[in-house]
């Protein structure tokens, strides 16, 4: 049964290769990401296993939040002017939690 990611989860280094080495810091970001994911994701049935996509969404959200704390005010990470800004619960995370389904009609 899959659970939410924790700092000692064996999958964490695969899902978040540059995870902070400090377990307390990793736990902080993972817990914040879990809360954000739970606030956005549809409710699961009682006792249901956490979908793999949700675990990935948690890792992506934790990484995005961690990286945004390291970004310069201009949005770049290296000071060279070429970088990206990380936004909370970006579209990839949202897509993993609530996949958009095509709706259409045949006329």
**Which pLDDT does position 8 carry in this prediction?**
95
**Which pLDDT does position 96 carry in this prediction?**
78
**Residue range 55-90, pLDDT digits in tens:** 999 999 999 888 877 756 655 555 565 555 555 677
- Phi/psi region, residue 59 (left: phi>0; alpha: psi -120 to 50; beta: rest), is alpha
**Which pLDDT does position 56 carry in this prediction?**
95
- Closest listed residue to residue 70, CA positions, set 23, 20, 2, 12: 20
**pLDDT (mean) for 3-9:** 95
**Which pLDDT does position 54 carry in this prediction?**
95
> What pTM did the predictor assign?
0.74
Mean pLDDT of the chain: 83
**pLDDT (mean) for 4-16:** 95
């Amino acid at each position: 049964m899959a659970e939410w990611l924790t700092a000692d989860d064996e999958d964490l280094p695969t899902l978040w290769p540059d995870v902070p080495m400090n377990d307390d810091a990793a736990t902080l970001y993972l817990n914040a990401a879990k809360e954000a994911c739970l606030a956005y994701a549809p409710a699961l049935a009682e006792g249901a296993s956490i979908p793999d996509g949700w675990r990935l969404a948690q890792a992506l959200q934790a990484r995005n939040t961690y990286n945004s704390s390291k970004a310069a005010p201009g949005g770049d990470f290296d000071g060279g002017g070429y970088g990206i800004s990380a936004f909370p619960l970006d579209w990839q995370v949202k897509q993993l939690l609530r996949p958009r389904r095509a709706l259409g009609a045949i006329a």
